[in-house]
């Protein structure tokens, strides 16, 4: 990574306005400090608290320019050249006068060599300034550099602990270095230290902890919900085709491949309560990668009016967390086909579709849906998802397995029940209805002060009117739509 060289080139190429989106302000300033020396241009910083300062080894203050407008006027009027680093100026870009002043400065390049560098964690450059502007991205440390940092931290620990060596196994060390990808140098160091410091070891059980800590670093606004290995397919009945499909792709997803495309994502479409959400969780669990759940609701609400930007942030976070599963539950609710909201959901849709088409990181998207009428056709067009799986009501074998799973989970002696009879008594039941029936029967047993038995389960089954009966029509429509467009998940 040669940030210095690249940024210097950019400044020399006479771009008047540069933005650096980063959480590492200090690193960006250090870089500019070194560039000022080699280019012989003075460096000034501005912040709302300190006003303008000249950076020369030690600061010399120029008071009175805290006001952003006055500061920009000062640059505009002065005939002195320089690099002006504006720290956290982003809120002031909302002011039309400031935008115009920046444009004036950009247009007067011939008067003096001036470069304005915006440094903030997030910057939206107004349209008026696009023609004068370039983005600069501070490079993130490569795998080799991350390895170096981890080794440095291990040496430091040894020194501080009377020469005791850090215990590590190679697999865990590799895992740690892989999982520190997508972070800045300072963050890599912080997490490497965290992994080592508590017990002087880098072992397999450090990985989930580090992945979670990384997620917390990246996702400060919590627009994503994080889970690590919460479900396994062992606890999901049915889904045989989906399980086989995933098993075939696990290795390529984790390690990449020269020939095969890395799997990108699936859509699970189907009847309510039949385990779509459960299966989505299990994908991450079975691949042993983090599950990031995107809740469209919070995307809309959290920072009103910045919805698309939020989505882009979320997608960036997911890429930094790769390999991971990005789960969008009930996707039709987030990007409904109708444009009743002034085009916001349509733009969200476009952002998501573009990302799905372009992304290269190992982010496996699992979307679930149960209402096809609200699904935008663009989303289900061939090639968007690797596959669309249809999740139907469980067949008898699957119902048997669902009873088995849920009875076991509640510590019931499965051998004492006739699972075939239970499966036969619950035709048209969803997995969730079977689970609820087991729970209800357990309550009845408790109420009577006795044990759960077959009769109680059958009684509950008889008393349940499954949703599939009342919803027969929409389910038939769904099946009809799924025919030919989807593959059965089971
Ligand atoms: N195939 C299954 N195997 C085991 N448990 C299941 C299965 N299907 C459903 N269940 C149980 O029912 C619960 C609800 O299922 P889940 O929320 O995954 O359904 P869903 O398809 O996402 O429904 P919805 O469309 O309402 O979101 C699960 O948490 C699980 O306990
Ligand atoms: Mg669900």
* pLDDT tens by residue, 210-256: 888 888 887 766 678 888 877 888 899 999 999 999 999 988 888 78
Residue 195 maps to a domain: yes
Final residue of a domain: which of 90, 111, 136?
Answer: 136
* pLDDT tens by residue, 374-417: 888 888 887 889 999 999 999 999 999 999 999 999 999 999 99
Query: Which residue's CA lies nearest to atom 10 of ligand 1?
Result: 431
Q: How far is the CA of 277 from the centre of ligand 2 (A)?
A: 4
Q: pTM of this prediction?
A: 0.75
Q: Is the CB of 376 under 6 A from ligand 1?
A: no
User: Which atom of ligand 1 lies closest to the CA of 278?
Assistant: 18
The answer on 269 and 162 residing in a single domain is no
Q: How far is the CA of 435 from the centre of ligand 1 (A)?
A: 9
Q: Is the CB of 431 under 6 A from ligand 1?
A: yes
The answer on 377 and 267 residing in a single domain is yes
Query: Which residue's CA lies nearest to atom 16 of ligand 1?
Result: 275
- DSSP state, 361? S
Residue 168 maps to a domain: yes
Q: Which ligand is nearest to the CA of 402?
A: 1
Domain that holds residue 463: 396-470
CA distance 285 to 235: 11
User: Which atom of ligand 1 lies closest to the CA of 239?
Assistant: 1
Residue 242 maps to a domain: no
In DSSP terms, 326 is beta-bridged to 292, 365
Q: How many CB atoms lie within 10 A of CB 104?
A: 14
Lowest mean pLDDT among 48-62, 275-289, 467-481: 48-62
Residue 475 maps to a domain: no
Q: Is the CB of 490 under 6 A from ligand 1?
A: no
* Most ligand 1 atoms within 8 A of CB, residue of 235, 239, 266, 273 to mutate: 273
Residue 244 maps to a domain: no
CB under 5 Å of ion ligand 2: residues: 276-277
Q: How far is the CA of 262 from the centre of ligand 2 (A)?
A: 26
Query: Which residue's CA lies nearest to atom 11 of ligand 1?
Result: 432
Number of domains in the chain: 4
Q: Which ligand is nearest to the CA of 399?
A: 1
The answer on 117 and 19 residing in a single domain is yes
Give the C-alpha distances (Å, rounded to integers) separating 265 from 52, 140, 356.
Answer: 49, 26, 9
Final residue of a domain: which of 335, 361, 390?
Answer: 390
Better-predicted residue by pLDDT, 34 or 360: 34
* pLDDT tens by residue, 24-51: 898 899 899 999 888 888 999 999 998 9
| Per-residue model confidence (pLDDT) at position 340 | 61
CA distance 438 to 417: 12
The answer on 88 and 115 residing in a single domain is yes
Query: In this structure, are strands 224-228 and 290-294 parallel, antiparallel, or unpaired?
Result: antiparallel
The answer on 62 and 158 residing in a single domain is no
Q: Is the CB of 176 under 6 A from ligand 1?
A: no
Final residue of a domain: which of 103, 119, 136?
Answer: 136
CA distance 453 to 445: 8
């Amino acid at each position: 990574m040669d940030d210095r060289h690249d940024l210097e080139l950019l400044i020399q190429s006479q771009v008047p306005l540069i933005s650096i989106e980063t959480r590492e302000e200090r690193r960006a300033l250090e870089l500019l400090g070194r560039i000022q020396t080699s280019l012989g241009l003075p460096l000034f910083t501005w912040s709302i608290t300190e006003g303008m300062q000249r950076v020369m080894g030690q600061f010399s203050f120029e008071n009175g320019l805290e006001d952003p407008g006055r500061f920009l006027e000062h640059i505009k009027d002065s005939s002195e050249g320089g690099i002006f680093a504006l720290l956290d100026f982003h809120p002031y870009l909302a002011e039309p006068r400031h935008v115009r002043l920046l444009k004036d400065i950009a247009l007067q390049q011939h008067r003096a060599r001036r470069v304005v560098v915006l440094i903030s964690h997030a910057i939206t450059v107004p349209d008026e300034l696009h023609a004068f502007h370039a983005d600069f991205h501070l490079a993130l440390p490569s795998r080799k550099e991350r390895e170096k940092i981890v080794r440095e931290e291990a040496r430091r620990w040894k020194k501080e602990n009377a020469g005791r060596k850090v215990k590590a196994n190679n697999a865990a060390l590799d895992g740690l270095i892989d999982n520190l990808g997508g972070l800045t140098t300072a963050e890599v160091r912080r997490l490497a230290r965290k992994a080592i410091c508590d017990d002087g070891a880098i072992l397999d059980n450090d990985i989930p902890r580090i992945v979670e800590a990384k997620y917390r670093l990246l996702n400060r606004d919590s627009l994503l919900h994080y889970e690590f290995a919460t479900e396994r397919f062992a606890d999901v009945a049915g889904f045989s085709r989906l399980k086989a499909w995933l098993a075939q792709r696990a290795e390529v997803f984790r390690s990449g491949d020269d020939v095969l495309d890395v799997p990108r994502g699936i859509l699970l479409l189907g009847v309510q309560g039949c385990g779509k959400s459960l299966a989505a969780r299990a994908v991450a669990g079975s691949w042993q990668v983090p599950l990031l759940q995107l809740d469209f609701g919070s995307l809309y609400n959290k920072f009103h009016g910045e919805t698309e930007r939020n989505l882009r942030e979320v997608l960036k976070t997911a890429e930094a967390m790769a390999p991971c599963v990005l789960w969008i539950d009930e996707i039709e609710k987030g990007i409904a086909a109708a444009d009743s909201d002034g085009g916001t959901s349509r733009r969200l849709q476009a952002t998501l579709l573009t990302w799905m088409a372009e992304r290269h990181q190992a982010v496996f998207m699992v979307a679930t849906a149960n209402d096809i009428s609200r699904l935008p056709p663009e989303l289900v067009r061939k090639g968007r998802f690797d596959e669309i799986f249809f999740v139907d009501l469980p067949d008898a074998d699957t119902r048997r397995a669902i009873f088995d799973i849920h009875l076991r989970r509640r510590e019931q002696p499965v051998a004492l029940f006739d699972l075939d009879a239970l499966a036969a008594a619950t035709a048209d039941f969803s997995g969730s209805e079977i689970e609820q029936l087991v729970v209800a029967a357990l309550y009845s047993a408790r109420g009577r002060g006795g044990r759960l038995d077959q009769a109680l389960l059958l009684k509950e089954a008889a008393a349940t009117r499954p949703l599939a009966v009342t919803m027969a029509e929409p389910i038939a429509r769904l099946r009809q739509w799924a025919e030919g467009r989807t593959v059965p998940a089971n």
